[in-house]
Structure 1
Amino acid sequence: MKRIILVAGATGNLGNKICKELIKRDADVKAIVRATTSLEKKETLTKMGVEVIEINLSNIDEVEAACLGVDCVISALAGLGDVVLDLQKSVLDGALKAGVPRFIPSDFCTNYNALVPGENRNFDLRRQFKTYLDGTAIKASSIFNGAFADILKYNTPILNLKDKSIGYWGEKADWKLDFTTMEDTAAFTADVALDQNAPRDLQIASFQISPNMIWTDVNTATGQEFRMQQLSNLEDFAQFIKKQRADHPAGENELYAKWQQAQYMYSMFSTQHARLDNLRYKDLDWTTSLEYIKSFVK
């Protein structure tokens, strides 16, 4: 019998890719979307083979009706407290009322369990939702993918193509950072959704790479020698972030405030996956660091 999987946030980049991977695995896929969702986005899902259900995601009864008979709900919702807490709680509560046995929360990030509360605003929101989720009877599985590999393209201090520089904080030029492509994350998530025995927490990474290793891959891909630079120690970086946040209160209402981006950088150099669950599903083909860097570094 086919598994029935429902995806919230299916019109987003990650959610769309998760739907594709579920369809590849012959699952019956449903997506709950707002009535205001564009026709183009809904048609993209429908052509893929996804059953699109328009509901008010804040209405628990409507969520319940959409979740009847579903084996697992995947949340790929992204946002601030009104989404990660309020809207995701509504989806979870509807799933609980419908008797859905499993739930995958929108924890597609660094494993925040090892981090100090208060150091990352967006992780704190996920931590609050986790407390609520773990107080319910549903079986949950969180997927921690480190950072999405896409950030390597965006001229962050870790890899700045414009300045031809590679940066790091503290004495961590050899500290391995966890990166996963969105495609690899989606494929793994689809397997987890279909795996009734999946554990509470899973950690993955397409590749684990240090600043020095990034230098080597960039040199291999381009023949160019980028400048390595220590940006500051971690203590000074933490204080800089706190000041930046205090000086820009408007950022509290921005998903990607400048200080939030710095918080992500700080988190990446503060924790790393001690183990990986990449081999749990045998048919996955993980992207290598050199393969990925070659895809955008010229």
Structure 2
Amino acid sequence: MTTVLVAGATGSLGRQVVEKLLDRGADVRALVRPASVDELAAHPNLTPCVGDLADGADALARHLDGVEVVVSAVQGGPEVIIDGQRALLRAAEGAGVHRMVPSDFSINLHGYGYGVNVLSDLRRVFADEFATSSVARTSVAIGAFPEYFLGAVHEVLDPAASTFSLWGEGTRPIDVTTIPDTAAHTAAIALDPKTAGREVHVVGQRLSMLELRDEVEAASGRRWELVRKGTLRDLREEVARRRFTASTMFQCVALQAQVAMFDGTGSLRDVRNADYPDVVPTSVAAYLADRGAAHFTPPDTTWGRDEWPTAL
């Protein structure tokens, strides 16, 4: 039985990674803050580990004895993605952990350079820590979560106005993978020793923005007016404008991701779905017919542009 420690185990992705690992027979340790312990479901192979990445490597070390793989599903700024994960990596090195899956779970981080997407930059900086580490890095790329991409943060769907907005022509395929499918793939990849030192790309579905609009109209049963916001050059200029005028990075990171999605530099490469045939991805149509139907009505609460967006 493989022992896996999951950081961020009560987040929208982390809790499902825990469930999928348990389904596959792993022994799971869930690293959670004291206030989140009660959010963990009881399971004979699940052990709560109370702690925080901010506690530092020495404090985290006690949770890692006997752990073979670490999966990080945390999110945040540099204090989490770089500093916090670095502390977890140092603790893992001291405990003899074999591999770590960092909290990447995004588009192809290495298809474009620094300065395009601030969150990608943070992940790349942390990736450099593995160059001299005894712990092998296994990075999972999935494209975009539809839970976020069709939410307020990406400014694509406006359910109150029934509009669907895009930049560019909208004909280039983009990669989307639901959070549950990402969790299922992550569990399989974490337990696959062949992924040591590799970038593993998996995807739920590839479709263009225009095809995505068709799926939204079919699932909602109503017309969504297509709003063309401008060219990809216009998108880059809008990102630059927001970087100088926004009070927080949250007001431009989604559009930064769209730049790489829509110009193809963030597209997934060498997709490895066939390596994990027991994970059957959810189509966009199936997602929209189920949980994703919530995108079609205005939310009860407004997303604050100074905070991390919360998935459905």
**8 Å Cα contact 2:57/2:88 also seen in 1:** yes
Question: In structure 2, how many angstroms separate the alpha carbons of the residues matched to 1:222 and 1:105?
Answer: 36
Decide which of 145, 150, 155 is 1:148's aligned counterpart.
145
Question: In structure 2, how many angstroms separate the alpha carbons of the residues matched to 1:210 and 1:30?
Answer: 39
Aligned pairs (5 A) from 1:1-298: 2-34=1-33, 37-38=34-35, 41-45=36-40, 47-49=42-44, 50-57=46-53, 58-155=55-152, 156-171=154-169, 173-198=170-195, 200-248=198-246, 250-252=247-249, 257-270=250-263, 271-295=266-290, 296-297=292-293
User: Cα deviation per residue 1:211-247 (whole Å; 9 max; x = unaligned)?
Assistant: 2211222232234332223211111211221121112
Query: Per-residue deviation at 1:129?
Result: 0.4
SS of the equivalent of 2:91 reads helix
Question: In structure 2, how many angstroms separate the alpha carbons of the residues matched to 1:30 and 1:63?
Answer: 12
SS of the equivalent of 2:200 reads strand
SS of the equivalent of 1:134 reads helix
Change (3 A) 1:48 1:176: farther
Question: In structure 1, how many angstroms separate the alpha carbons of the residues matched to 2:262 and 2:229?
Answer: 12
User: Cα deviation per residue 1:119-153 (whole Å; 9 max; x = unaligned)?
Assistant: 11111100100111233122111001111110244
Change (3 A) 1:55 1:219: closer
Q: TM-score, normalised by structure 1?
A: 0.90
**8 Å Cα contact 2:57/2:87 also seen in 1:** yes
Gaps of 5+ in 2: 297-312
Change (3 A) 1:229 1:112: same
SS of the equivalent of 2:132 reads coil
Q: Which moved more, 1:277-286 or 1:77-86?
A: 277-286
Counterpart of 2:243, as a letter, is R
**8 Å Cα contact 2:108/2:269 also seen in 1:** no
Query: Per-residue deviation at 1:293?
Result: 1.8
Question: In structure 1, how many angstroms separate the alpha carbons of the residues matched to 2:131 and 2:160?
Answer: 44
Counterpart of 2:27, as a letter, is D
Gaps of 5+ in 1: none
SS of the equivalent of 1:32 reads strand
2:307 counterpart residue number: none
Query: Per-residue deviation at 1:95?
Result: 0.2
Counterpart of 2:272, as a letter, is D
User: Cα deviation per residue 1:8-60 (whole Å; 9 max; x = unaligned)?
Assistant: 111211111110111111110002233xx31xx31332514420122353331
Question: In structure 2, how many angstroms separate the alpha carbons of the residues matched to 1:73 and 1:90?
Answer: 12
Question: In structure 1, how many angstroms separate the alpha carbons of the residues matched to 2:52 and 2:227?
Answer: 49
Query: Per-residue deviation at 1:260?
Result: 1.7
RMSD: 1.8
Change (3 A) 1:152 1:107: closer
Q: Which moved more, 1:148-157 or 1:104-113?
A: 148-157
**8 Å Cα contact 1:167/1:211 also seen in 2:** no
Question: In structure 2, how many angstroms separate the alpha carbons of the residues matched to 1:282 and 1:104?
Answer: 20
SS of the equivalent of 2:75 reads coil
Q: Which moved more, 1:209-218 or 1:178-187?
A: 209-218
Poorly superposed stretches of 4+, deviation over 4 Å: none
User: Cα deviation per residue 1:74-122 (whole Å; 9 max; x = unaligned)?
Assistant: 1111100000000100000000011101110000111110122111111
Counterpart of 1:88, as a letter, is Q
SS of the equivalent of 1:74 reads strand
Percent identical residues: 29
Aligned residues: 287
Question: In structure 1, how many angstroms separate the alpha carbons of the residues matched to 2:147 and 2:176?
Answer: 9
Question: In structure 2, how many angstroms separate the alpha carbons of the residues matched to 1:5 and 1:149?
Answer: 27
Q: Which moved more, 1:210-219 or 1:158-167?
A: 158-167
Counterpart of 1:275, as a letter, is D
SS of the equivalent of 1:87 reads helix
Change (3 A) 1:212 1:55: closer
